[in-house]
A = this chain, B = another copy of it.
């Protein structure tokens, strides 16, 4: 089944356009959890990260369309961190949650193939190949060009998906992404050329039954005008929209990333869900995360579905 159709189904069934980003910043974890552990000991920290991420999955899985582990925070913990990442992805999949490995990889040839096989490869030990992380989808950096994306495109047929970084949510995204490229008689920003590349890959593969491709782009919620323009020009690409909540964008800011039926995009919140306990004394960190996820889900639906 196409990744885009699986995402569509999850959105419809859960009535949620929210993706929870699993960004376990060690400094922001619940203080009680950190008590008594040696914060310079990777194995000890990794166990806390595991407990925390599994707790977030447990508290939010029925409220969110997908979870998006931010690989950097796991990689920070070396082998112990990758072990936890694999366990968290497995736990999410066991709850029927879609998983997006946010690793922004990009390389060439057999190197790109190794990244594709690891992140999107089946996590089940098998006779047919080395097991991988088993994510449903991943984020990619397209700077190395179309041939660098071929190993990922090949996995579209196996129900996997990917989002190319087009316009990121940070201020510095202007430095290269907003620069204007010569394009025939016109000019287009660099991020637009990345969206065109995604469109080309989408055309090569075809669409899901939902009308969307399993190839998508990342468009920061902090740039609502760009999001709306991209939505209009690329009506068959899925958008992954980071930057709501802690990064400052609101539900209204991302409305333009969705189509008229309220589909075509998912919005990611990380810190505003994970660390909601910091603003809410008297309830557990899991309850705080659940309340925050409910609230953001409802805000997104209200913003996207308003007529």
Q: Which residues of A contact B (CB under 8 A)?
A: 23, 25-26, 39-42, 45, 70, 72-73, 75-83, 86, 104-112, 114-115, 117-118, 125-133, 141-148, 165, 168-177, 179-182, 187, 190, 193-194, 197
> What residue in chain B is nearest A77 (Cβ atoms)?
B130
Cβ of B128 and Cβ of A40 under 8 Å apart?
A: yes
Residues of B with C-beta under 8 A to A193: 176, 179
CA distance A130 to B70 in the complex (A): 18
Residues of B with C-beta under 8 A to A126: 40
Copy total for this chain: 2
CA distance A114 to B41 in the complex (A): 16
Other-chain contact of A179, B76, B111, B190 (Cβ < 8 Å) = B190
Cβ of A117 and Cβ of B76 under 8 Å apart?
A: yes
Residues of B with C-beta under 8 A to A179: 181-182, 190, 193
Give the 4 A-B CB pairs with smallest separation, nearest first: A145-B172, A147-B172, A145-B175, A72-B114
Most buried by B among A41, A76, A83, A115: A76
Smallest distance from the beta carbon of A266 to chain B beta carbons, Å? 19
